[in-house]
Amino acid sequence: MSFTKAQSRAITHKDGPMIVLAGPGSGKTTVITERTKYLIQNYGINPMEILVITFTKAAAQEMRQRFLRLMEQEQTQVTFGTFHAIFFGILKHAYHFTGENILREDQKHQYLKDIVGRMNLDIEDEADFIGGIISEISLVKNDQIPLEHYYSTTCSENAFRDIYQKYQQRLERENRLDFDDMLVYTYQLLKERPDILLGWQNRYRYILVDEFQDINKIQYEIVKMLAAPENNIFIVGDDDQSIYRFRGAKPEIMLNFPKEFKDTKTILLDQNFRCTGNIVKAAELVIRHNQMRFQKNMKEVKESGDKIELHTFANQPQECAHIIKKVQEYIKQDYQYSDIAILFRTNTDARLLAEKFMEYNIPFKMRDSMPNIYDHWIAKNVISYIHLALGSRERREFLQVMNRPNRYIGRECVDEAQVSLENLKKYYDDKHWVVERIEQLEYQLNILKRMNPYAAINFIRHGIGYEAYLNEYADFRKIKAEDLYEVLNEMQEGAKDFKTFEAWFAHIEEYTKALNDQAKEQNRVSNAVTFTTLHSSKGLEFANVFIIDINEGIIPHRKAILDADMQEERRMFYVGMTRAKEHLHMYSIRERYGKNLMPSVFLENLKQDVKTAG
């Protein structure tokens, strides 16, 4: 096998720190496996002294398999593993932990559910709330933030600290540790026991780390301790593909690596073997606008290929129709469905397109689960209002909305399976302001039942005052009300085509069934178009890639306010662009949910250089 000069220099490196800047499609896995082989066969390094760290179990398994094929062996004494697997191995030796001591993710969720359930917090979406708490606990542990200095974005500081402390107390009582504790305990152990640290330093004399741009603070501190004093640490990554800051990844660790290790040698793998020349050049035009990065200029190995298609559509339905047409054209050109990917910013952005794919029987699979919007608690509230307007008086439906907005109705007076508004008024006959609100609700339900679905949602939002309730809830949860409005916006968009509630409810039922069927089928279907977020597209490649809705507020996301956020959004877009091997289609829209949209700032740098239509 022949290597470029840069690859050869990296493969044959022996002692001391080295940073390998590996751009997209530049053969980084080859460099890691070939260098491991070179250490053993040419420098006589004992395989037991080599440690290769990856970020995912799948990457570790793939790396190990490629190395075994390269060595023509069935087993190896080289250690391949994730940070968690390696560090748990260290803890097993020190504390005799077993798999029983590890808290599974479902158990963690249940622990926190129990704690939160006893705290009497007013939470609507429990799964979303607990998901936020889990992320924040992880951040506190991985960034080694003192609890008293951490300010929660999910709930009040006091509530978060209470939850955190109760969670940790239960772990300690039951002698368990979660995945983040594996890092914390390893760090503490190696810090406090130099004798144990020395043993592991002698064991792993050569350390190689893949995807180094995704490393967080505590992982880096442990790796530094293990690599000392010889510092035979070989890191491979691309700062331009660092997209996990929300999980604690810090691209600045990679940027500062040469400063921290003064004798670092730097190798740039700047040849892209994956993408056509036009895609490589366009991606470079985008990423060069980031300031905090290693300067590099990726070069294409392939020919220029077709120009990138940049197209602006009036709205999402037009965008969807065009994508379906293009997919059908690719299939006629003998491409497989599996050669095609649709990339988007969040897993809710592709709902309309997924619906259209189901309608046209185009096979697709989701890399990330796409939640059914009609299962969202806000959607359930809206549907309950409509059911009540149509005559339902089920207690379950009424409880959902009776105080949204607040009508001061107590649960204690809603104790029958069927709710009577007349009985409620009698119950509160000494509180005229409550009676007034119940009468107002009756009047509003009477208006609501005469509307079409689109107008009904609008009336619930503004006429009944449901948005005012969402504003209060957003304040309590420390989230933006706009994020909650998105559910209503999307519901309204979906309801536009239906004249009656009956037709809309039938559509919701069909859509839910189709979504469930698709989720069951997707693991069985290999030849299918891939739907994936930009985040989850990392590490993948496809002949033909569509990136949709490249608009301000979508890509980049509206939450990207700080410069660091914008740089991360640009890196994410760059990752998406460089998934395409042959054809790249980048689309924006002019309007969504009745609001005008601007094309993304990321597209402005490209317009002179790529084919523009529309």
Smallest CA-to-CA distance from 52 within 26, 20, 29 is with: 29
Phi, psi (rounded to 5 degrees) for 157: -60, -45
Assign 416 to helix, strand or coil.
coil
> Is 28 known to sit in a ligand binding site?
yes
The helix-helix angle for 179-192 and 83-95 (nearest 10°) equals: 60
Burial of 70 (0-12, 13-18, 19+ CB in 10 A): middle
> For the chain, how far is it from start to end, CA to CA, in angstroms?
46
Whole-angstrom Cα distance, residue 42 to residue 45? 8
Whole-angstrom Cα distance, residue 363 to residue 365? 7
> Is 26 known to sit in a ligand binding site?
yes
Burial of 124 (0-12, 13-18, 19+ CB in 10 A): middle
DSSP state of 554: T
Going through 345-481 in order, the beta strands assigned E by DSSP cover 364-366
**All residues at 6 or more sequence positions from 115 whose CB lies less than 8 Å from its CB, including other chains:** 163, 166, 167, 170
Q: How far is CA 163 from the centre of its chain?
A: 24
> Is 251 known to sit in a ligand binding site?
no
Whole-angstrom Cα distance, residue 270 to residue 7? 10
Phi, psi (rounded to 5 degrees) for 517: -65, -40
Whole-angstrom Cα distance, residue 538 to residue 88? 26
Q: Would you call the peptide bond into 453 cis, given omega within 30 degrees of 0 as the criterion?
A: no
Whole-angstrom Cα distance, residue 587 to residue 309? 8
> Is 513 known to sit in a ligand binding site?
no
> Residue 57 is encoded by which pair of tokens?
């179990």
Whole-angstrom Cα distance, residue 588 to residue 313? 6
Long-range contacts of 603-610 (CB under 8 A, 24+ apart): 603/310, 603/550, 605/285, 605/286, 605/289, 606/282, 606/285, 606/286, 606/308, 606/310, 607/310, 609/281, 609/282, 609/285, 610/278, 610/282, 610/307, 610/308, 610/309, 610/310
Point out which residues pair with 299 in neighbouring strands. Answer: 271
Q: Which residue has the tokens 């064991």?
A: 203
> Is 371 known to sit in a ligand binding site?
no
Strands 271-272 and 265-269: unpaired
> Is 117 known to sit in a ligand binding site?
no
Whole-angstrom Cα distance, residue 60 to residue 48? 16
Assign 243 to helix, strand or coil.
coil
**All residues at 6 or more sequence positions from 109 whose CB lies less than 8 Å from its CB, including other chains:** 130, 134
Smallest CA-to-CA distance from 98 within 180, 177, 169, 191 is with: 177
Phi, psi (rounded to 5 degrees) for 366: -95, 125
Annotated binding site: which residue ranges? 22-29
Annotated binding site for ATP: which residue ranges? 22-29
